[in-house]
Amino acid sequence: MMDSHLLADHYQRALRADEVLAQIDAHYPAGPTLHQLAPLDQLHIGGVAASARLLKRLNPDTHGKVLDIGAGLGGLMRQGAALGFQMTGLDITHGFSALNRALSSRVKQPDALPLAWVTGDASALPFVDSSFDAVLFQHSLLKMPNAARVISESRRVLRPGGQLVMHEVVSGPNVAHLRYPVPWAASSAHSHLLSLVELTRLLENDDFQLEHIDDWSEMALAWRQRQRQKEQMPRQAVLSPQWVFGERFLTMGKNLVDNLAQGAIKVVEIQASC
Ligand SMILES: C[S@@+](CC[C@H](N)C(=O)[O-])C[C@H]1O[C@@H](n2cnc3c(N)ncnc32)[C@H](O)[C@@H]1O
């Protein structure tokens, strides 16, 4: 098991949950839409569009019961639920699970979304074998020091014929030049990036069959550059990653652009079945 206190501190240190909810209530009294929440709850490169692409890889009729591992504030979960998936979000940072739930109760939706939240560790999943049709990772494996164990656990909770879909950051050819802080790590001691080769090998070791690998790095760089321009505007947006990461996000956001541009990191989508 990991030191969940250290990890929760990384994410909860600057999190202003009560102020976030007050800000949402003040600006969106009828409830925010998924797009309005996105600058806050889609804590990955690519925002809502990346989540939509990821979810397109699954069919809610055949793979409707989905576990989002490292769900964060739940942007992907709510998007999936709106498409008809039954979404369970697991996160080790309890403050995130609690705010994820509070955000879900505020969202403007005609029907209650089929969502469940669990605070727990991806390396010891609190679910019985074969309990999900699909598992998703979106910028969460990069924070996990024991990827092999996490992938074995994912395999265990997937039913035969289940699907694993990832939208992850991996190390690039110039990883030695990686600049910190980045959103998942203040320094190299807290970063657990694998290369694409190492990641696919771990999946194959657990008898996953690779079905699809796509390099999203160029798209990720263009998206991050656009976000960075918005972040530098003098007028503050209603919601932004700074509500989660504080002022240090300005440096993190700049470093993400530089790291993508220099080939220190890559962004990939992977689909595998079991
Ligand atoms: C960068 S955030 C991404 C959140 C979300 N997937 C998204 O894209 O918006 C990484 C998340 O992984 C969670 N996490 C890290 N290690 C974990 C573990 N061992 N088990 C479960 N969640 C973990 C963190 O608490 C955090 O919420």
Domains defined along the chain, listed by start: 2-273 (3.40.50.150)
pLDDT of 15 > 90? The answer is no
- Partnered with residue 135 across adjacent β-strands are 67, 164
The verdict on the CB of residue 91 being under 6 Å from ligand 1 is: yes
Amino acid symbol at 193: L
- Gap from CA of 144 to ligand 1 centroid (Å): 9
The verdict on the CB of residue 43 being under 6 Å from ligand 1 is: yes
Confidence band, pLDDT 50/70/90 cuts, at residue 2: very low
Strands of 158-171's sheet in order across: 115-119, 86-91, 65-69, 132-138, 158-171, 265-273, 209-215
Residue 173: burial class (beta carbons within 10 Å; 0-12, 13-18, 19+): exposed
What does the pLDDT read at residue 5? 66
Confidence band, pLDDT 50/70/90 cuts, at residue 110: low
- Give the E-state strand segments of 131-215 in sequence order: 132-138, 158-171, 209-215
What does the pLDDT read at residue 8? 62
Residue 43: C-alpha distances to residues 195, 243, 273 (Å): 21, 11, 26
Which mutation among 3, 90, 92, 99 tests ligand 1's pocket best, with the greatest number of atoms within 8 A of CB? 92
The verdict on the CB of residue 132 being under 6 Å from ligand 1 is: no
**What average pLDDT does this structure show over 38-54?**
97
**How open is the CA angle 89-169-250, to the nearest 5 degrees?**
90
Percent pLDDT > 90 in the chain is 82
Name the H helices within 83-173.
94-106, 147-157
Please give the Cα distance from 130 to 266 (Å, whole number).
Answer: 31
- Gap from CA of 234 to ligand 1 centroid (Å): 30
Please give the Cα distance from 138 to 267 (Å, whole number).
Answer: 10
- Gap from CA of 143 to ligand 1 centroid (Å): 7
Please give the Cα distance from 187 to 201 (Å, whole number).
Answer: 26
Residue 201: C-alpha distances to residues 31, 147, 151, 166, 225 (Å): 44, 11, 11, 14, 32
Q: Looking at ligand 1, which residue's alpha carbon is closest to its atom 10?
A: 140
DSSP assigned state of 185? B
Q: Looking at ligand 1, which residue's alpha carbon is closest to its atom 27?
A: 72
What does the pLDDT read at residue 1? 42
Q: Looking at ligand 1, which residue's alpha carbon is closest to its atom 13?
A: 70
- Distance from chain centroid for Cα 142: 10
Residue 52: C-alpha distances to residues 47, 55, 206, 244 (Å): 9, 5, 27, 23
The verdict on the CB of residue 92 being under 6 Å from ligand 1 is: yes
What does the pLDDT read at residue 6? 63
The verdict on the CB of residue 143 being under 6 Å from ligand 1 is: yes
Least confident among 143-152, 230-239, 259-268: 230-239
Percent pLDDT > 70 in the chain is 95
Please give the Cα distance from 57 to 270 (Å, whole number).
Answer: 10
- Gap from CA of 27 to ligand 1 centroid (Å): 27
Confidence band, pLDDT 50/70/90 cuts, at residue 14: confident
DSSP assigned state of 270? E
**pLDDT tens string 49-81:** 999 999 999 999 999 999 999 999 999 999 999
The verdict on the CB of residue 154 being under 6 Å from ligand 1 is: no
pTM value is 0.95
The verdict on the CB of residue 123 being under 6 Å from ligand 1 is: yes
- Gap from CA of 7 to ligand 1 centroid (Å): 9
Please give the Cα distance from 192 to 253 (Å, whole number).
Answer: 19
- Gap from CA of 90 to ligand 1 centroid (Å): 8
